[in-house]
A and B are shown apart, each in its own frame.
Chain A
Amino acid sequence: EAGVAQSPRYKIIEKRQSVAFWCNPISGHATLYWYQQILGQGPKLLIQFQNNGVVDDSQLPKDRFSAERLKGVDSTLKIQPAKLEDSAVYLCASSIGQGAKAFFGQGTRLTVV
């Protein structure tokens, strides 16, 4: 079965620019997660969707980050404007339901210079 697909794999941008990441979850998975992983740390949950509704976005910096999951399938995460401290790997994961085991994509490595 196909896994969680993310693109791009790598992205380098200058500070104050904007960037968007795309995630295609495993077919039929209702729950979708976005994580930020800074080098040397565990993944930090940014936002969790159940179908196309937001379950939790308490750790999403809403002044610059936004995420949507139209039609309850694919999702995009946007940063505008980017800061140097946003340099990290952005991971997308999906699960068949809340509480079920999650499957992760390979992530997008963002470097802000």
Chain B
Amino acid sequence: DAKTTQPTSMDCAEGRAANLPCNHSTISGNEYVYWYRQIHSQGPQYIIHGLKNNETNEMASLIITEDRKSSTLILPHATLRDTAVYYCIVRVANNAGNMLTFGGGTRLMVKP
């Protein structure tokens, strides 16, 4: 899997949008960008994934730059329950031998 670079930590005010960046400059054409988060004492939870186009679901939006070398996860109205470590991962979908490899992630602290 291609490597990703994320800031170690970020703060966000409750009710504001949280924008979490991820750099993946060596991403291959068939690799997707996945985001997971891990709330304290729980297992990681899938949030969203995309290939080229921007994606939105009930949890978040994913904005991928045109050159696909970076992306941003957006939590539109952060709540205290969004405090977690957020992991950006790039991997090939539906491919034999495809690993799900986590880096260090971004620790997001949502403050009242």
CA distance A6 to B85 in the complex (A): 22
Closest chain A residue, CB of each to CB of B94 = A99
Is A105 on the interface with B (CB-CB < 8 A)?
A: yes
Contact (Cβ within 8 A) A43 B102 = yes
Contact (Cβ within 8 A) A55 B43 = no
Q: A99 and B97 in contact (CB under 8 A), knowing A42-B102, A42-B105, A44-B102?
A: no
Is A107 on the interface with B (CB-CB < 8 A)?
A: yes
B82-96 toward A: CB 8 Å interface, digit per residue (1/0)? 000101000111111
Contact (Cβ within 8 A) A97 B46 = no
Contact (Cβ within 8 A) B99 A56 = yes
Interface band, chain B: 20 to 34
Q: Which residues of B contact A (CB under 8 A)?
A: 32, 34, 36, 41-46, 49, 85, 87, 91-105
Q: Label chain B's interface by main secondary structure.
A: loop
A-B contacts, 22 of them at CB < 8 A, read A4-B43, A33-B100, A42-B87, A42-B104, A43-B44, A44-B102, A45-B101, A45-B102, A48-B99, A55-B96, A55-B99, A56-B97, A56-B99, A97-B94, A98-B96, A98-B98, A99-B32, A99-B93, A100-B93, A100-B94, A102-B36, A102-B46
Contact (Cβ within 8 A) A104 B97 = no
Interface band, chain A: 20 to 34
Number of residue pairs spanning A and B whose beta carbons lie under 8 angstroms apart: 63
Contact (Cβ within 8 A) B92 A99 = yes
Instruction: From the candidates B36, B91, B100, B104, name the one contacting A41 in the complex (CB within 8 A).
Output: B104
> Within 8 Å CB of B92, what residues of A?
99
**Considering residues B44, B96, B103, which has the most beta carbons from chain A within 10 angstroms of its beta carbon?**
B44
Q: A101 and B104 in contact (CB under 8 A), knowing A106-B42, A107-B43?
A: no
> Within 8 Å CB of B105, what residues of A?
42
> Within 8 Å CB of A101, what residues of B?
34, 46, 49
